[in-house]
Chain A
Amino acid sequence: MVALVVAAGIVFVLPNFFPRASVEKWPGWLPNQQINLGLDLQGGSHLLLEVDVASVITERLESLGSEVRRTLRSERINYTGIGIEQKGVRVRLTNPDQRDDALAALRGLSQPIVTNAFLAVGARDLDVDVDSDGVAHLTLTDEAIAERQRSAVEQSIEIVRRRIDETGTREPSIQRQGEDRILVQLPGVDDPDRIKRLLGQTARLTFQLVDLDARPGGRTPAGSVVLPADGRSSSQQTEYIVRREIMVSGENLINASTTFDQQSGGPAVSFRFDAAGGRRFGQVTTDNVGRPFAIILDGKVISAPVIRQPILGGSGIISGGFSVQEANDLSLLLRAGALPAPLNILEERSVGPGLGADSVAAGELASIIAFLAVMVFMVMAYGMFGIVANIALLVNMILIGGGLSLLQATLTLPGIAGVVLTIGMAVDANVLIFERIREEVRTGKTPIAALDAGYSRALTTIIDANVTTLIAAVLLFQFGSGPVKGFAVTLAFGIASSMFTAITLTRLIIITWMRWRRPTALPI
């Protein structure tokens, strides 16, 4: 049994001594899993993002406000003051006689919630009510809010994945964490700033007409809005007044790529609309020849070219004083699609490959020194028994390595510290046993009796003492994050394997030796 465990340990630890490329070519029946190095050892980026779900709700309420306005207008119901509340929209009806009509019309806005299954069948997204003061309240139901937020997070994960895939990062890990968080882990990324820039933009692209009737500095008309210029473009203008109505948006894009603007010669992004988008774009440009339209990305005007002739082909270019990198990034973002809500970076941990390699080297050196020092010390303290303990220590290391490979646990820098600490602490079980044997020898027991007594008496102590450390390791794993979890894993492995080797392996070796040599006194 003991031999089996040790052999398994050796088999599983072996792949770690070969380069990854050659291990991948091994036949399938051989274990080929290597220990995963944490991001702090191989370099890379860890990003914890939060989907701004509140903004999804705010946006929904804003669009609900316009729907209410449109509905009441078309039904000729008199109202004043549409206001947005925390979870809904409120509107005051001016004619009490129209109360029932209004209620019926507004209820028509409520829609069943479409979920992919089980959840709240038949639930609707709006509660509509008119109070005694003639104020209508349209409130989003809790189900509707939950559903919107859930789908926003899911979509965000998808868009994040697409954007990262477009950058060609190998082996990214993108996971949902908790309610509204996304954990992105990118091993070996050499330019984390670019990834952050890519993820930091919602990349919502819209084409809107510039409002020429409004005078800058004057009052902005109700159907228009003032937007800042992007600042990169050569134009002197710092803000634009554009119509709220969206001609075409990024959702209608089917492709985008980097190109060069034939007029200015600078980098630009060429895009292509789908059929519906192309048709709509063609129509609006036909109707508005000679007027400028604004190309807006995330609320900033990139450029506002004048429509010289109808654009019917369904494609065009955006030029706005980009660098090649910026044009590349923008076309990547447009291809991957817009995020449903902004993402905030809650936590970032990026380690360059140089530091990772240094840490691995330092960890290896420290392990070797610790290993040798402890081994020498054990031989000095216990002689032959020390050698046996050292064999156990070696097996320990193999078991930890094999276990980590088998479970595909991640080795981090604190994890290496855990291993080194284990080297120091692993001998404890053997020390307990050997000290006990010494005591038993002193009481005049025969070698075999002293050995038996030593092992059995030390056993409860070993278990009690190690369970307490194990408790600490489990809690560390539960509450620690990233690298600290790695430490907990190696510590726990170290404790378990040191108990195993001390209780079984060293005993086996010593008993075998005694049967062979039949010593009259224990050399301890």
Chain B
Amino acid sequence: MAWRLKLVPDNTHFRFMHLRKGAFGFSGLLAVLSIVFLIILGLNFGIDFRGGTLIQVKTPGPANIAQMREAVSSLELGDLALQEFGEPDEVLIRVERQVGDSEEQQAAVEVIKGALENIIDGEIEYRRVEFVGPQVSSELVRAGALALGLALAAMLVYIWFRFEWQFSVGAVTALVHDVVLTFGFFAITGLEFNLSIVAAILTIVGYSMNDTVVVYDRVRENLRKYKKTDLKELIDLSINNTLSRTTLTSVTTMLALVALAVVGGPVIAGFVLAMIWGVVIGTYSSIFVAAPVLLYLGVRREVFDKETDENAGDATPA
């Protein structure tokens, strides 16, 4: 047989369940740390959720951010953030929402533009101007939270419907773990948390679930196949069965994400970083969180004895 790249050798027999206590401790620690950092540092909310104005400018030469910050902060528009954005000649300016109605917001943009034009020679390109009012930002917070909550609930129900309640509890525990750790990641790194990060978290939920289902599916199959095997060994076997697939898919997804991270530009950088983090912890949690939960909750094996093997004769004609 021809040479094949094998990231995982055939017929592995890793005893993952032996590590479950350590893994639970590790995950628990990370989750607690995430929550602690969330409380202490909070999230660096973007204007989507906090309201305010964002201006992305491209200056004729490399931007002198210190000078620009000085010029804009002398305007006394309140909370202000300037950062280089992707390229040395691009700067992102964020200003908090001004007191008053849309006229005041408009005026703030005008005076910032004026201040920048005073200190920068040559033409400034205004690449992006965004303003989010308080009503819209609170609606976005609500919609984001609702979407996340509904996603978890929908997964819970779907898995319950397709498997057993123990599986659905295990899967959702893993998902909550992923979501909490992603929040923690954003609290610690201070990366901007905006709408696209919510999208990333939902995608992570989808991805992690995908991974978990693959393992669970194999557990279910093995439960039918090996009626006498100890549950612990059976779960280990199922994880080992699917290990090659889990690794391969993580790698291809990672390849795509790295491509996006390297050349995709700064606008989606936050999203991509969140996804990379999510793929890592999503893969980890399917093996070390979702699977051991099954062991703790126990599985009523007779349920699977009664069912006929759904897999038999279920092929789709090509």
A binding-site residues for B, Cβ under 8 Å = 2, 40, 48, 50, 192-193, 196-197, 200, 344-352, 354-355, 358-359, 362-363, 365-367, 369-370, 373-374, 377-378, 380-383, 413-414, 417, 420-421, 423-425, 427-428, 431-432, 435, 438-439, 442, 452, 455-457, 459-461, 464-473, 475-476, 478-481, 483-484, 487-488, 491, 503-504, 507-508, 511, 521, 523
* A349 in contact with B252 (CB, 8 Å): no
Contacts of A471 in B (CB 8 A): 151, 154-155, 158, 206
Q: Residues of B contacting A349 with CB < 8 Å?
A: 128-131
State whether A484 touches B217 (Cβ < 8 A): no
24 contacts between A and B (CB under 8 A): A2-B318, A48-B136, A197-B106, A200-B103, A346-B102, A349-B131, A363-B264, A369-B259, A370-B259, A377-B5, A414-B196, A417-B271, A421-B203, A423-B256, A431-B249, A432-B245, A435-B245, A442-B11, A461-B217, A465-B209, A465-B217, A468-B159, A472-B209, A523-B1
Which one of B21-29, B30-38, B142-150, B184-192 is at the interface? B142-150
Known: A359-B265, A471-B206, A476-B202. A456 touches B314 (CB 8 A): yes
Within B41-87, which residues are at the interface with A (CB < 8 Å)? 56, 58
A472 and B196 contact, Cβ closer than 8 Å, known pairs A196-B106, A420-B256: no
In the complex, B40 has a CB within 8 A of chain A: no
| Known A382-B4, A460-B310, A503-B316: A354·B143 in contact at CB below 8 Å | no
A431 and B311 contact, Cβ closer than 8 Å, known pairs A382-B4, A466-B210? no
CB of A481 within 8 A of CB of B195, answer yes
* Interface pair B147/A478, CB less than 8 Å apart: yes
Q: A355-B127, A465-B213 are in contact. Are A457 and B311 (CB under 8 A)?
A: yes
Known: A428-B210, A432-B214. A355 touches B103 (CB 8 A): no
Q: Inside 8 A of A200's CB, which chain B residues have their CB?
A: 102-103, 106
Q: Is A424 a contact of B10 with CB atoms below 8 Å?
A: no
B210→A424 contact, CB < 8 A? no
Docked complex Cα distance between A348 and B131 (Å): 5
Q: Which residues of A contact B11 (CB under 8 A)?
A: 442
Contact (Cβ within 8 A) B102 A420: no
CB-CB under 8 A for A475 and B318, given A354-B58, A421-B257: no
Q: Which residues of A contact B173 (CB under 8 A)?
A: none
Q: Which residues of B contact A2 (CB under 8 A)?
A: 318
Task: Please state if A370 and B155 are interface contacts (CB–CB under 8 Å).
Answer: no
| Chain B neighbourhood of A470, CB < 8 A | 206
The residue from A420, A467, A483 contacting B259, defined by CB atoms under 8 A apart: A420
User: In the assembly, what is the distance between CA of A491 and CA of B162, in Å?
Assistant: 23
A461 and B213 form a contact (CB under 8 A): yes
In the complex, which range does the number of interface residues on chain B fall in? 35 or more
A354/B127 contact (C-beta < 8 A), A345-B133, A435-B245, A475-B150 known: yes
Q: Which of B126-183 contact A (CB under 8 A)?
A: 126-133, 135-136, 140, 143-144, 146-147, 150-151, 154-155, 158-159, 162
Please indicate the chain A residues that have their CB under 8 angstroms from the CB of B259 in the complex.
366-367, 369-370, 373, 420
Interface flags, B208-223, vs A, CB<8A=1, else 0: 0111011001100100
Q: Which residue of A lies closest to B8 (CB)?
A: A435
Residues of B within 8 A of A (CB): 1-2, 4-7, 10-11, 56, 58, 101-103, 105-106, 109-110, 125-133, 135-136, 140, 143-144, 146-147, 150-151, 154-155, 158-159, 162, 195-196, 198-199, 202-203, 205-207, 209-211, 213-214, 217-218, 221, 241-242, 244-245, 248-249, 251-257, 259-260, 262-265, 267-268, 271-272, 275, 310-316, 318
Q: For residue A373, which residues in chain B have a CB less than 8 angstroms away from its CB?
A: 255-256, 259
Interface residue from A40, A193, A358, A439 paired with B241 (Cβ < 8 Å): A439
Contacts of A455 in B (CB 8 A): 315-316
A424 with B154: CB separation less than 8 A: no
Q: Could you tell me if B195 and A484 are in contact, using CB atoms closer than 8 angstroms? A: yes
Tell whether, in the assembled complex, residue B195 and residue A413 are in contact, meaning their CB atoms are under 8 Å apart: no
A523 touches B2 (CB 8 A): yes
Contact across chains for A347 and B132 when beta carbons are under 8 A apart = yes
CB-based contact A414/B271 at 8 Å: yes
- Shortest 10 CB-CB distances between A and B: which pairs? A424-B256, A472-B206, A469-B206, A424-B253, A479-B147, A362-B265, A370-B259, A355-B127, A370-B256, A456-B315
CB of A268, distance to nearest CB on chain B (Å): 25
Q: Does A504 lie within 8 Å of B206, measured CB to CB? A: no
Determine if B126 and A352 form an interchain contact, defined as CB atoms under 8 angstroms apart: yes
Residue of A nearest to B54 (CB): A349
Interface contact B195-A427, CB-CB below 8 Å: no
Query: Cα distance A200–B107 when bound, in Å?
Result: 12
Supply 6 further A-B pairs (C-beta < 8 A) apart from A366-B259, A373-B259, A460-B217. Answer: A192-B129, A193-B110, A344-B133, A423-B256, A468-B206, A471-B154
Q: A424-B253, A456-B315, A475-B147 in contact; A468/B213 too (CB < 8 A)?
A: yes
Looking at the assembled complex, report how far the CB atom of B294 sits from the nearest CB atom of chain A, in whole angstroms: 16
In contact, B209 and A468 (Cβ under 8 angstroms): yes
Q: Is the CB of A424 within 8 A of B131?
A: no
Interface hub of B10, B130, B206, B254 (most chain A Cβ within 10 A): B206
| B residues less than 8 Å from A480 (CB atoms) | 143, 147, 195, 198-199
Quote the shortest CB–CB distance from B80 to chain A (angstroms). 19
Bound Cα distance A473, B257 (Å)? 18
Q: Which of A348, A424, A479, A521 contacts B1 (CB 8 A)?
A: A521
B209 touches A469 (CB 8 A): yes
Q: Is the CB of B213 within 8 A of A366?
A: no
Is the Cβ of A459 less than 8 Å from the Cβ of B214? no
Known: A480-B199, A483-B196. A381 touches B158 (CB 8 A): no
- Nearest-neighbour CB distance to chain B for A438, whole angstroms, equals 8
Residue of B nearest to A50 (CB): B135
Chain A residues whose C-beta falls within 8 Å of the C-beta of B125 in the assembled complex:
352, 354
| A374 with B255: CB separation less than 8 A | yes
Q: Which residues of B sit under 8 angstroms from A459, Cβ to Cβ?
A: 311, 314-316
Q: Contact: B129 with A479, CB < 8 Å?
A: no
